[in-house]
């Protein structure tokens, strides 16, 4: 058996994932291979040394976890959380309505301007008519063209 | 899931807050040790540790696995992958991991060899810690899940979402590098009969 395979089987042996048949075969390999026995010893030492390193979370970790779970299951918060999409939708609608109203006002101002412009056109037309009428009257009185009078 | 764990979880759901404390106490060392090894600071590790439990409890109804610890590691793995992706969670030897704020690198250097030149298991443990921190992320994860959390390769493969052979290959690379890095220490250990 190749060393790589022996290594793999030694790892599986330590985790209890070798079948009885594989275990027997591994034992046969270990009996004849010194390298395999050294590797097994090294793996054992790794494990033994690693297990001496113990780290613990802060002593109040469990209390904090319980507090967070209580907080996340708080009914008032759940209701608020449930309302969040509705509140967001309402805010969006308000924004759209605001934009529309603003736009409408702009349109109204523009309409007033257009009407004012149209009004000035109307005024100009009537003035034009008045002027033409006046011109005709002057011509009628003088029996001459307005150009000559002007000259 | 172990019968005890199932009973404790059921008790917690029925309002027995003590039951959660018992569960946290039961698994705190392997889980926190694992998280700490991939954390920038101890506070980060505490935060992830709490988040793992909160997520585990919240999603307990969807949980069908046999081993609670394995499931907790799976959640921790996902959280840490997220953090690594955001580049907030890279283990550094300059980073304090102990309560007194001494960086891991200094702890390891201070450990050194004893005055008589002999090493013991604790010193080797610190050297393994230092050497393992230089391994690539996946190999480091397999190494600690196997060596400290005592998970099987089948469970590790499930956590890392890979095949058992891939998990085994990662472990083989890790062991091979550590054996090379720690060759001197091993020689001394053998000579002192440890």
Domains and CATH numbers, chain B: 1-90 (1.10.1740.10), 96-194 (1.10.10.10)
Among A116-120, B47-51, B61-65, B163-167, which stretch is predicted with the lowest mean pLDDT? A116-120
> Distance (Å) from the C-alpha of residue B32 to the closest C-alpha of chain A?
6
Question: Radius of gyration over alpha carbons of chain A, in Å?
Answer: 50
Helix axis angle for B183-192 and A34-50, nearest 10°, is 90
Contacts made by residues A70-73, CB under 8 angstroms, sequence distance 24+: A72/B54, A72/B58
Chain B residues with CB inside 8 Å of A48's CB? 121
pLDDT band at A46 (very low <50, low <70, confident <90, very high): confident
The mean per-residue pLDDT over the stretch B98-124 comes to: 49
- Are A62 and B129 an interchain contact pair (Cβ–Cβ within 8 Å)? no
Query: What pLDDT, on the 0 to 100 scale, is given for residue B16?
Result: 86
Please count the other Cβ atoms lying within 10 Å of the Cβ belonging to residue B38: 24
Q: Give the per-residue pLDDT at A145.
A: 54
Task: Say whether pLDDT at B117 is over 50.
Answer: no
Q: Which of A100-104, B80-84, B89-93, B146-150 has the highest mean pLDDT?
A: B146-150
Mean pLDDT of chain A, nearest integer: 78
* pLDDT score of A80: 58
A12 to chain B, any CB pair closer than 8 A? The answer is: yes
**Does position A78 have pLDDT exceeding 80, yes or no?**
no
Beta carbons within 10 angstroms of residue B93's beta carbon: 16
Kindly provide the b/e burial profile for residues A130-144, where b requires at least 16 CB atoms within 10 angstroms of the residue's own CB: eeeeeeeeeeeeeee
Q: For residue B15, how many C-alpha atoms fall within 13 Å in the half-sphere facing its CB?
A: 0
Span A106-145, pLDDT tens digits: 766 666 666 555 555 555 677 788 888 888 888 777 765 5
Residues 77-106, chain B, touching A (beta carbon < 8 A): 97
How sure is the predictor about A12, in pLDDT bands with cuts at 50, 70 and 90?
Answer: very high
**Domain limits of chain A?**
3-55, 92-151
Banded model confidence at residue A82, pLDDT cuts 50, 70, 90: low
Please indicate if any CB of chain A lies within 8 Å of the CB of B11: no
pLDDT exceeds cutoff 60 at B17: yes
Q: Using a CB–CB cutoff of 8 Å, tell me whether A8 touches chain B.
A: yes
CB B154 within 8 A of CB B164: yes
Chain A, window 120-149: residues with a beta carbon less than 8 angstroms from a chain B beta carbon: none
Look up the pTM and report it: 0.65
Maximum alpha-carbon separation in chain A: 145
Predicted complex ipTM: 0.74
From the number of C-beta atoms within 10 Å of its C-beta (0-12, 13-18, 19+), residue B67 rates as middle
B39 CB-near residues (< 8 Å, 6+ apart)? B45, B48, B89, B91, B97
CA-to-CA separations, B29 to A99, A112, B60, in angstroms, rounded: 58, 78, 21
Encode pLDDT of B30-52 as tens digits: 899 899 888 888 898 999 999 99
Q: Is B172's CB within 8 Å of A11's CB?
A: yes
- The residue that leads in pLDDT, B170 or B63, is B170
Q: Tens of pLDDT along B79-97?
A: 988 887 775 444 444 444 4
Q: What is the pLDDT confidence band of residue B114, given thresholds at 50, 70 and 90?
A: very low
List CB contacts (< 8 A) between B124 and chain A. Answer: 45, 49
Nearest CA of chain A to the CA of B92: how many Å? Answer: 17
From B87's Cα to the closest Cα of chain A, the distance in A is 23
| Alpha carbon distance B76, B90 (integer Å) | 15
């Amino acid at each position: 058996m190749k060393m790589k395979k022996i290594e793999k089987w030694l790892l599986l042996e330590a985790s209890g994932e070798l079948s009885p048949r594989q275990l027997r075969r591994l034992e046969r390999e270990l009996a004849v291979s010194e390298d395999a026995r050294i590797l097994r010893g090294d793996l054992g030492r790794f494990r033994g040394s690693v297990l001496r390193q113990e780290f613990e979370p802060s002593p109040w970790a469990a209390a904090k976890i319980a507090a967070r779970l209580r907080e996340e299951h708080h009914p008032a918060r759940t209701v608020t959380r449930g309302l969040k999409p509705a509140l967001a939708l309402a805010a969006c609608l308000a924004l759209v309505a605001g934009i529309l109203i603003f736009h409408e006002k702009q349109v109204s101002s523009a309409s007033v301007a257009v009407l004012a412009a149209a009004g000035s056109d109307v005024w100009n037309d009537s003035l034009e008519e008045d002027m033409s009428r006046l011109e005709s009257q002057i011509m009628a009185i003088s029996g001459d063209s307005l150009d000559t009078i002007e000259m | 899931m172990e019968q005890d764990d199932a009973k404790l979880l059921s008790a917690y759901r029925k309002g027995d807050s003590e039951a959660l404390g018992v569960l946290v106490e039961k698994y705190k060392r392997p889980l926190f040790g694992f998280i700490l090894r991939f954390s920038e600071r101890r506070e980060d590790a505490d935060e992830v540790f709490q988040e793992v439990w909160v997520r585990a409890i919240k999603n307990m109804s969807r949980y069908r696995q046999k081993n609670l610890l394995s499931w907790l590691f799976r959640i921790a793995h996902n959280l840490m992958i997220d953090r690594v992706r955001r580049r907030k969670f890279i283990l550094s030897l300059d980073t304090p991991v102990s309560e007194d704020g001494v960086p891991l690198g200094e702890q390891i250097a201070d450990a050194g060899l004893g005055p008589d030149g002999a090493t013991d298991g604790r010193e080797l443990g610190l050297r393994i810690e230092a050497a393992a921190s230089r391994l690539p992320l996946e190999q480091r994860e397999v190494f600690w899940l196997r060596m400290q959390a005592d998970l099987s390769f089948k469970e590790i493969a499930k956590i890392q979402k890979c095949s058992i052979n891939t998990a085994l290959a990662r472990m083989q690379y890790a062991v091979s590098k550590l054996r090379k890095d720690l060759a001197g220490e091993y020689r001394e250990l053998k000579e002192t009969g440890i």
